[in-house]
Amino acid sequence: NAGVTQTPKFRILKIGQSMTLQCTQDMNHNYMYWYRQDPGMGLKLIYYSVGAGITDKGEVPNGYNVSRSTTEDFPLRLELAAPSQTSVYFCASRSRDGSLADTQYFGPGTRLTVL
Amino acid sequence: QKEVEQDPGPLSVPEGAIVSLNCTYSNSAFQYFMWYRQYSRKGPELLMYTYSSGNKEDGRFTAQVDKSSKYISLFIRDSQPSDSATYLCAMSAKGAGRRALTFGSGTRLQVQP
């Protein structure tokens, strides 16, 4: 299993540009998450999904959109990029059931800079 | 006030030392407590998981939860240079609250050889 994969690893955007961060998991997990991590600030939840077709806002959703058309994929869309969106973005997934239902598996992250 | 408070460090210790990492929280609904380890430029990975109060030991790592004080700890015995990383505490509530984790800001640990 590859686990959680994210593309791209790095990206530089100009203010006002748009892009999609890709996230795929091959563990058949129901739950998927998008976080951003700013230096010294921990992880902040942007959006999450409890299954295909179902998404919900997290703590910091403004400026982002998500979709979940399949169990495996959970892309994050940035519209009209702003410097405040410069961050490292992590995708995560977890199983709904079982003894490790609270374990989130993280991808390697996408480092985004908006200039 | 943040829901979860964690000293950012950095915490620098000599190899072989006992390390104590801590988090305090304000939400009494939290029932599930985790410690994640994050190496530089990598995603976090689960290190320890505890449900409700008590201790849990796994090799050199011990996690403690004191719900009455809203305080959790991670102890690392015989610390190694390979333990140098950022340690993030995380927690969640039952039911719908279990869907998402609330993270601390992380403590950066450096173990000097």
**Contact in structure between B43 and A109 (CB atoms under 8 Å):** yes
Q: For residue A104, what is the DSSP state?
A: P
Q: Does B98 have pLDDT greater than 80?
A: no
Judge: A45–B105 Cβ closer than 8 Å, yes or no: no
**Model confidence pLDDT, tens digit, residues B47-70:** 998 888 889 999 999 999 999 999
CA distance A13 to B28: 41
pLDDT at A101: 59
Concatenating the DSSP letter of every residue in B32-52 gives EEEEEEE-TTS--EEEEEEES
Judge: B103–A90 Cβ closer than 8 Å, yes or no: no
pLDDT at A103: 80
Residues of chain A short of pLDDT 70, as ranges, are 97-102
What distances in angstroms separate CA A58 from CA A13, A23, A44, B13, one per listed residue?
Answer: 24, 17, 8, 36
Q: Contacts of residue A43 in chain B, CB cutoff 8 Å?
A: 44, 88, 101, 103
**Contact in structure between A48 and A67 (CB atoms under 8 Å):** no
State chain B's mean pLDDT as an integer: 91
**Residues contacting A1, CB < 8 A, separation 6+:** A26, A27
